[in-house]
């Protein structure tokens, strides 16, 4: 099959592409605008494959999207392109409305036009898989319940509200136009190639540089953590074996408070990084945990997210392969062994090269 993947240069999208190229005989067309978080260096290991193609296209550009569909003739669309950082959505929601809502509408319309023009049996097997987040469900504070596929939507941030809107659009296009869609909602991902504005890579890299480890509020916010390669396997299963019109929740069965995550990272770094290499960057501290700093909480911060992923296990046979402990260790080791990748992200040299500009 041929997959058209929007946002394929992002964290989750690149993991999905690596999974498909490395573990199947399928081909991939990566459609990405290459915003600040889109990094083609995350795809170097598969970029020379004859089954991989890249299209530098904004998903809001309908003319270019229509060209991509016509040229590449995909069998499956996996729509991952999105603005995804909650803090950025609070500071500037416009980009989230543009990309997550209007962009999803544009992709849906291009896919619908393409799908309507297909002949059977290709039309009968076409699929549009929309990848979303557990944040659309809101806050599970004061309850031990889990998010299920039928949990009512109660988004709290501009980010989650924009993703909820995109979910509704996808389901409406299936109900109204018959477009064969599937939706997945996932918990917090972590792993290699994660842009360092998110909690786990931010803490790892700040610690290595002897910088404060900022924790919102009291750090008691609870998240369910999912290793990104486990998520990539799940997404491929849904795209190829899921039932049209269905929603699947994907979680890691790993509920942890933010402060637990940060302290576990500090312990792993203390074990894996020679003390001598740390001492020069933070002379007044003997342990990475000394760098933990509590800061003012985020506005509207949800206390708890937790996914019930039993439908994925029962219907598609998927369970995570990584525990939180094994996945987090792999993540820390990867960042320790791939300094070139994250150094170029932090100094934005990868982005300057993409834009054809010199150093600041």
Q: Please identify which of the residues 105, 114, 137, 159 carries the catalytic annotation.
A: 159
Cβ contact 310:246 at 8 Å: no
Residue 84 in 3-state DSSP? Answer: coil
DSSP code, position 25: S
Helices 324-337 and 199-208: angle between axes, nearest 10 degrees: 50
The token duo for 20 is 């498909």
d(CA 83, CA 33): 11
Phi, psi at 247, each rounded to 5°? -115, 140
Phi, psi at 42, each rounded to 5°? -75, -10
d(CA 257, CA 28): 36
Q: Please identify which of the residues 135, 167, 229, 255 carries the catalytic annotation.
A: 135
Catalytic residue status for 114: no
Cβ contact 77:174 at 8 Å: no
Residue 24 in 3-state DSSP? Answer: coil
Cβ contact 208:273 at 8 Å: yes
The residues, ordered by sequence, that sit 6+ positions from 313 with a Cβ below 8 Å of its Cβ are 319
53 burial level (CB within 10 Å; 0-12, 13-18, 19+): middle
The token duo for 49 is 């494959």
Beta bridge partners of 56: 32
Q: Please identify which of the residues 134, 224, 229, 302 carries the catalytic annotation.
A: 134
Catalytic residue status for 246: no
Cβ contact 167:101 at 8 Å: no
Catalytic residue status for 134: yes
DSSP code, position 291: G
Catalytic positions: 134-135, 159
């Amino acid at each position: 099959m041929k997959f058209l993947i929007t946002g394929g240069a992002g964290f989750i999208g690149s993991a999905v592409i690596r999974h498909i190229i490395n573990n199947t005989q399928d081909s991939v067309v990566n459609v990405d605008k290459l915003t600040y978080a889109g990094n083609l260096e995350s795809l170097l290991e598969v970029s020379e494959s004859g089954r991989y193609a890249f299209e530098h296209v904004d998903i809001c550009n309908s003319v270019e999207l229509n060209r991509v569909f016509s040229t590449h003739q995909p069998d499956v669309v996996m729509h991952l392109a999105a603005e995804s950082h909650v803090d950025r959505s609070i500071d500037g929601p416009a980009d989230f409305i543009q990309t997550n809502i209007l962009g999803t509408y544009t992709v849906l319309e291009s896919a619908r036009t393409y799908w309507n023009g297909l002949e059977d049996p290709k039309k009968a097997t076409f699929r549009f898989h929309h990848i979303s987040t557990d944040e659309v469900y809101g806050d599970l504070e004061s309850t031990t319940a889990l998010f299920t596929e039928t949990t009512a939507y109660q988004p709290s941030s501009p980010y989650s509200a924009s993703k909820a809107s995109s979910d509704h659009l996808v389901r409406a296009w299936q109900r109204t136009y018959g477009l064969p869609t599937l939706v997945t909602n996932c918990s917090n991902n972590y792993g290699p190639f994660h842009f360092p504005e998110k909690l786990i890579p931010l803490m790892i890299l700040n610690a290595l540089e002897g910088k404060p480890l900022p924790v919102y509020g009291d750090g008691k916010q609870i998240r369910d953590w999912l290793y990104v390669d486990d998520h990539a396997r799940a997404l491929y299963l849904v795209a190829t074996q899921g039932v049209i019109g269905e929603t699947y929740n994907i979680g890691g069965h790993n509920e942890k408070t933010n402060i637990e995550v940060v302290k576990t990272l500090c312990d792993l770094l203390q074990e894996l990084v020679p003390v001598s290499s740390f001492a020069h960057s933070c002379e007044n501290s003997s342990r990475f945990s000394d760098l933990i700093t509590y800061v003012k909480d985020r506005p509207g911060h949800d206390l708890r997210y937790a996914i019930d992923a039993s439908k994925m296990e029962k219907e598609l046979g998927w369970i995570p392969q990584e525990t939180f402990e094994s996945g987090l260790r792999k993540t820390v080791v990867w960042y320790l062994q791939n300094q070139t990748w994250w150094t170029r992200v932090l100094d934005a040299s990868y982005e300057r090269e993409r834009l054809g500009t010199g150093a600041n």
